[in-house]
Amino acid sequence: MAFEAVYYSELDLLALILGLSSDPESLDLLYARLCREQNLQWLRGQEVESEVFPLPVAWRQQLQACFELADRVIYEALKNSDVMHAPRDIQRFLLRRLGHFQTEQFAVAFLDSAHRMLEFKILFSGTVNSVRVYPRVVVQQALAINASALILSHNHPSGSWQVSAADIDLTEELRVLVEKFDIRILDHLIVAQGAVVSMVERGLL
């Protein structure tokens, strides 16, 4: 199906994806959720039961399939080009991958010598405000994948854009450790409140 050169609202797009254009009651449900939420990350969230306006399981399955397909398109692009030439692409990818979690996740993008994506892994899961990272595991994974460079990332479910002292200390510890194996850390990105904060851009790495 080709889209005409017109603007489609979020509600329009969701109605097309879910086949609800002629279902006023369902459209009202979607509209209520869109008005209630700050961004679209709730569409791929995992907390269904506690929601004021829960979406039917079938809708969630369709939406998850759309998200997964979009993620794979972006992932293929990252595998075939230098991610540092288009840093916003990796940031968008991480926002999609980590932005919906209600607990902290620590992930690593493993890159080859040309800074193309070899693999992306969520290595550690934590609580609502912290995640414990084991540096040795990061090194083991990097060596197993034969990575030449890493982009670290984690999310702040609280929505805070603040880079903490703990974030800086961890990044430095990992930088020193992986450099012993000729592996570089190119950036540490923090996903929060629909945005991505780069430690490199802030002069912290």
* Ramachandran class of 182: left when φ > 0, alpha when ψ lies in -120 to 50, beta otherwise: left
Lowest mean pLDDT among 30-39, 45-54, 160-169, 179-188: 45-54
Can you read off the two tokens belonging to residue 157? 């479910």
Residue 44 confidence (pLDDT): 67
Residue 51 confidence (pLDDT): 58
Residue of 44 and 162 predicted with greater confidence: 162
Pairing of strands 195-198, 149-155: unpaired
Please report, for residues 55, 84, 101, 108, 171, the alpha-carbon distance to residue 159 in angstroms, rounded to integers and kept in the order given: 23, 25, 11, 20, 20
3 state DSSP class of 123: strand
pLDDT (tens digit per residue) in 86-95: 788 888 888 8
pLDDT (tens digit per residue) in 82-128: 888 878 888 888 888 888 888 999 999 999 999 999 999 999 999 98
Hey, which bits of 80-168 come out as E strands?
Answer: 105-111, 117-125, 149-155
Average pLDDT, the chain: 84
Sheet with strand 149-155: strands edge to edge: 117-125, 105-111, 149-155, 184-192, 195-198
Half-sphere exposure for 42 (CA within 13 Å, toward CB)? 18
For residues 168-173, average pLDDT: 95
